[in-house]
Chain A
Amino acid sequence: MNTLDINKTKLPLCGNKPNVERNVWAAITTNDNGLFKTFWQQHRYHEARRWSVTDFINEIDFPNLTMLERSYIKNAGFAEITTKPGADRLTRQADSECQKWLNTNPQLSAVMQACGTWSRYWNEEESHHEMAFLYLSYAANENTDSPILNAVPSDKEIIDFRRIYPDDNMLRTLTILAMSEGIATLQYNDFADAATDPALIALFRKISLDESQHMRNFVSFAKALVDSGEFDIRDVLSMAIMFMREDGEIYGNSENRVKERDTHVNWWDAIDDNCQRDPASEEKEVKQIIFKVVENITGIKVSDVEELEEIWMELLVA
């Protein structure tokens, strides 16, 4: 078997450790064959991060999982079903945007192609999360004396959770995906903090890291759209305000809000109240991560929602 570490060879485009490309616009516009080189880095990074669901599951001590752990697993499984329609939508939307900009801004068209191509890795990585949690929930709760009911989704529930999100403009789409992945990072870290089974803790941490790198990818693509000069940063600010304002999405899966929106299911809609974190600390941490997303995409640094709203309204009349 060949044990060569490609990241330590002198082969072209292999010498450094792969990472998320922070400046997609520069990578594509200042390089010859920028798109091919971007694909290669995306692929190397994806391969470097690959892991096995079945290996993690083998290490988990099912009979001794606590009720809280069983509940976390079930909720995470249901929530993760909603990521595939998000990724499918991103692929389709990125392709359509790629064609749209082809003649008027070919560099932006290439950025859209890079985003659509990366979505294949996002979709595959999310499938690990979905299958890990759904199988764990099945193994931990079905045909056991666990009081957790309906531990795995019915066919009807899966089809309902798979509904494709309605389209919006691409910058808004990438911004909400970045925020959503940031919140998932925090959520899985919290599950890890509260869990006791070492293998389950390791799984939550692994998935939290995956979500964190997804967030960094979405931020990079969103920033590239802003760098292109064709997209308006007001859309980043409005998405953040929508998320964080009073009674916004940050405040959980309120029944009224979910009823209002009958088009699709967001992943946080599937998190039961008993799995929610301490509301005050959750709100603080979520806001911090959203402010960071806004700053990294737009360069605008704020510390509270009112300040963000004020800047947004000033930009609306500018």
Chain B
Amino acid sequence: MIKNEFKELVLDTISKHSNISKTIISKSHFTLSELIHTSPKLINSVDLMEVFAYTAIQIKKKYQVAPKLPALPLSTTMDEVVEYLFETTKLKLEVRQ
């Protein structure tokens, strides 16, 4: 599992399901709170959970395991989200092997 490739997959999916360009969400320190407020599609944390579910589905398609759905504070940055998803996916892959 290559981290950069994983990150691109996560950002592509979040960008698609939040209707925000990848350039914007890729900015350092872009938080989940900003994601909800900037998106024309997301209203609240339930929508955010749905975006993470779509992301987990894409990860499962590519790596055969789905990460745990994150329940992170809204102050979490997108880099931290990617890190969380990467680590929980890695852990699940290790358990499976």
**A is bound by B:** yes
B57 near A168: Cβ-Cβ < 8 Å: no
The answer to whether B44 and A168 touch across the interface, beta carbons within 8 angstroms, is yes
Q: Is the CB of B43 within 8 A of A166?
A: yes
Q: Is the CB of A245 within 8 A of B57?
A: no
A residues touching B (Cβ–Cβ < 8 Å)? Answer: 166-168, 172, 235, 238-239, 241-242, 245-248, 256, 260-261, 309, 312-313, 316-317
Residue-by-residue, is B58-97 near A (CB-CB < 8 Å gives 1, otherwise 0)?
Answer: 0000000010010101110000000000000000000000
Which A residues touch B71, using CB under 8 A? 245-248
- Closest-by-CB residue of B relative to A260 is B74
Flag if B73 contacts A260 (CB, 8 Å): yes
Taking a contact as CB atoms closer than 8 A, the residue among A242, A261, A316 that contacts B46 in the complex is: A242
Whether A168 pairs with B43 at a CB distance below 8 angstroms is yes
A241 touches B49 (CB 8 A): yes
Chain B contributes a number of interface residues (CB within 8 A of A) equal to: 16
CB within 8 Å for A172 and B69 given contacts A313-B53, A313-B57: no
What would be 16 A-B contacts, judged by CB atoms less than 8 Å apart?
A168-B44, A172-B46, A238-B46, A238-B50, A242-B49, A247-B71, A256-B73, A260-B73, A260-B75, A261-B45, A313-B56, A313-B57, A313-B66, A316-B50, A316-B53, A316-B57
Q: Within 8 Å CB of B56, what residues of A?
A: 313
Contact residues of B with A, CB < 8 Å? 43-46, 49-50, 53-54, 56-57, 66, 69, 71, 73-75
Main SS at interface, chain A: helix
A256 to B71 Cα, complex, angstroms: 12
Chain B residue numbers with a CB within 8 Å of A241 are 49
Q: List 5 A-B pairs, minimum CB-CB distance, nearest first.
A: A247-B71, A242-B46, A260-B74, A238-B46, A313-B53
Q: Which residue of B lies closest to A172 (CB)?
A: B46
Residue on B nearest A309 in the bound complex, by CB: B69
Distance (whole angstroms) from the CB of A267 to the closest CB of chain B: 18
Chain A positions within 8 Å of B44 at CB level: 166, 168
Alpha-carbon separation in the docked complex, A270 to B77 (Å): 29
In Å, the complex CA distance between A261 and B46 comes to 13
Known A166-B43, A247-B71; contact A238-B57, beta-carbon cutoff 8 A: no
Contacts of B73 in A (CB 8 A): 256, 260
Residues of A within 8 A of B45 (CB): 242, 261
Kindly list chain A residues whose C-beta atoms are within 8 Å of the C-beta of B46: 168, 172, 235, 238-239, 242
- Chain B residue with the shortest CB-CB distance to A169: B43
> Which residues of chain A are near B57, meaning CB under 8 Å?
313, 316-317
| Chain A residues near B66 (CB-CB < 8 A) | 313
In Å, the complex CA distance between A247 and B69 comes to: 12
| Chain B residues within 8 Å of A316, by CB | 50, 53-54, 57
> Min CB distance, A106 to chain B, in Å?
27
B53 cross-chain contacts in A, Cβ below 8 A: 312-313, 316
CA distance A310 to B71 in the complex (A): 17
